């Protein structure tokens, strides 16, 4: 029924004014807390203004291990620092405070060994890192599902290249009860498969230290344009020369123009050109 017809009926006016009502032509809201990604252009295109919790975020790449941390590092670093418990005020009798326990960052089946100095640059300490290396795809799925159901991690990152749509649906059902963001990394070839993940993105490296994102699925209208995010680490920016930080320019090769007097010069026919060696050989006989 058209919206105008519903608005004319007083019984439906309250329904249309409800903030929980979502129109497919507008970007949807999020009933659960969202985490700012650290990229304003990306937050503006995500329902709720950031990475969602209580649902899966599926990130597709042509090659795993290239851009994950450049995309998620800013958000995960702030998330784990904010979730650290605050120290208790000092009592009359001085006591040695226990080290503040922070929620772990759980990695399931990463393609490479985590680079600790790079994680530390994002504010993630080695003590917060839990690395699970399953022996096969079934164990990776089981570990991911148990980590989501435990709801004890600051965030769950799982690389599941062989997961099937039914298994993704099971993980999404488990994520509904988890307060931590859950990120699944899968190959680009599965973009045509159905997926229960409410948010699906294609991630690839771009030019000039950028990241390029395509939003395949979200709660909102289709997003056809690519997002280009500046993702140059601050530590690397301090080491690069100013000319290396400027956008690259493509210089087209200069081709000399053909002189006007030669542009209409008649060319010998191919048969005459090919006949010259034969005529030369006949004259020498």
| Residue 119, domain CATH | 3.40.50.300
Kindly tell me if the per-residue pLDDT of 29 is higher than 90: no
Say if 179 falls within a structural domain: yes
Domain that holds residue 113: 38-81+101-238
Say if 108 falls within a structural domain: yes
Q: What percent of the chain has pLDDT over 70?
A: 64
Within 8 A by CB and 6+ apart from 186, the residues are: 58, 59, 60, 61, 159, 160, 161, 163
CA-to-CA distance for 278 and 85, rounded, in angstroms?
A: 93
Say if 199 falls within a structural domain: yes
Say if 156 falls within a structural domain: yes
CA-to-CA distance for 16 and 3, rounded, in angstroms?
A: 8
Average pLDDT over residues 171-196: 96
Residue 13 binned pLDDT confidence (cut-offs 50, 70, 90): low
Greater confidence (12 vs 252) lies with: 12
pLDDT of residue 63: 92
Lowest mean pLDDT among 96-110, 123-137, 250-264: 250-264
User: What is the count of structural domains for the chain?
Assistant: 1
Say if 22 falls within a structural domain: no
Across all residues in the chain, what is the average pLDDT?
Answer: 78
Kindly tell me if the per-residue pLDDT of 99 is higher than 60: no
pLDDT in tens, 101-125: 668 999 999 999 888 888 888 889 8
Residue 222 binned pLDDT confidence (cut-offs 50, 70, 90): confident
Let me know how long the chain is: 285
CA-to-CA distance for 49 and 281, rounded, in angstroms?
A: 82
pLDDT of residue 249: 43
pLDDT of residue 54: 94
User: Tokens 């809201």 label which residue?
Assistant: 29
Residue 174 binned pLDDT confidence (cut-offs 50, 70, 90): very high
Say if 175 falls within a structural domain: yes
CA-to-CA distance for 255 and 90, rounded, in angstroms?
A: 77
Say if 249 falls within a structural domain: no
Predicted TM-score (pTM) of the model is 0.72
Q: How many Cα atoms are found within 13 Å in the side-chain-facing hemisphere of 265?
A: 8
Say if 222 falls within a structural domain: yes
Residue 255 binned pLDDT confidence (cut-offs 50, 70, 90): very low
pLDDT of residue 209: 79
- Residues 36/50, Cβ–Cβ less than 8 Å: yes
């Amino acid at each position: 029924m058209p919206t105008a017809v519903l608005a004319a009926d007083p019984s439906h006016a309250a329904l249309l004014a409800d903030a929980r009502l979502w129109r497919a032509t507008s970007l949807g809201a999020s009933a659960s807390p969202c985490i700012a990604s650290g990229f304003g252009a990306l937050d503006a295109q995500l329902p709720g203004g950031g990475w969602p919790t209580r649902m899966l975020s599926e990130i597709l790449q042509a090659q795993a291990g290239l851009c994950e941390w450049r995309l998620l590092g800013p958000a995960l670093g702030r998330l784990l620092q904010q979730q650290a418990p605050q120290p208790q005020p000092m009592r009359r009798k001085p006591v040695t405070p226990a080290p503040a326990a922070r929620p772990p960052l759980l990695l399931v089946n990463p393609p490479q060994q985590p680079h600790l100095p790079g994680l530390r640059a994002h504010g993630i300490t080695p003590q917060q890192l839990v690395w699970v290396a399953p022996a096969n795809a079934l164990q990776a799925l089981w570990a991911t599902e148990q980590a989501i159901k435990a709801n004890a991690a600051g965030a769950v990152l799982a690389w599941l290249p062989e997961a099937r749509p039914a298994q993704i649906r099971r993980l999404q059902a488990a994520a509904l009860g988890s307060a931590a963001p859950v990120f699944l990394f899968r190959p680009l070839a599965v973009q045509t498969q159905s997926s229960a993940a409410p948010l699906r993105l294609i991630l690839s490296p771009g030019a000039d230290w950028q990241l390029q994102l395509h939003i395949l699925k979200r709660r909102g209208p289709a997003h056809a344009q690519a997002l280009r995010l500046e993702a140059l680490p601050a530590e690397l920016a301090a080491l690069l020369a100013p000319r290396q930080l400027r956008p690259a320019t493509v210089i087209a090769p200069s081709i000399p123009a053909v002189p006007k007097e030669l542009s209409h010069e008649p060319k010998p026919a191919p048969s005459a050109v090919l006949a010259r060696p034969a005529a030369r050989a006949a004259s020498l006989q």
